[in-house]
């Protein structure tokens, strides 16, 4: 589909039209899905933080579970992911 979107490219040496190879397509279209997900997760966290204690969304995120955990490594919770994302953003933008 990307080849169809970007179309053919004229070769500089021969002057003929040719299809783009995979490396050229990657350079032209390189969305960073992970960065987009982290950015939206941080935006959502800010939205939930501004809601405050009024709604159940905030209460569900802040509340600690009262039950006993299973053996093994604890699972990442949503809040843990936000902390990691904010640390990475801080390192990327020099906010340490």
| Closest listed residue to residue 2, CA positions, set 17, 18, 24 | 24
Distance of alpha carbon 87 from alpha carbon 83, whole angstroms: 6
Reading the chain (96 residues) residue by residue, the pLDDT tens digits are 878 888 898 988 899 999 988 888 888 776 666 777 788 888 888 888 787 777 777 666 666 667 777 788 777 777 788 888 888 777 665 544
SS3 of residue 18 by DSSP: strand
Distance of alpha carbon 89 from alpha carbon 94, whole angstroms: 8
11 close to 18: Cβ distance less than 8 angstroms: yes
pTM of the entire structure? 0.50
């Amino acid at each position: 589909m990307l080849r169809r979107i970007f179309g053919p490219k004229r070769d500089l040496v021969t002057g003929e039209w040719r299809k783009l190879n995979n490396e050229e397509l990657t350079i032209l279209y390189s969305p960073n899905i992970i960065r987009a997900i982290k950015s939206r997760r941080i935006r959502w966290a800010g939205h939930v933080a501004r809601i405050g204690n009024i709604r159940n969304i905030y209460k569900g995120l802040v509340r600690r579970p009262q039950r006993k955990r299973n053996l093994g490594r604890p699972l990442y919770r949503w809040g843990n992911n936000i902390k990691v994302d904010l640390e990475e953003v801080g390192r990327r933008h020099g906010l340490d």
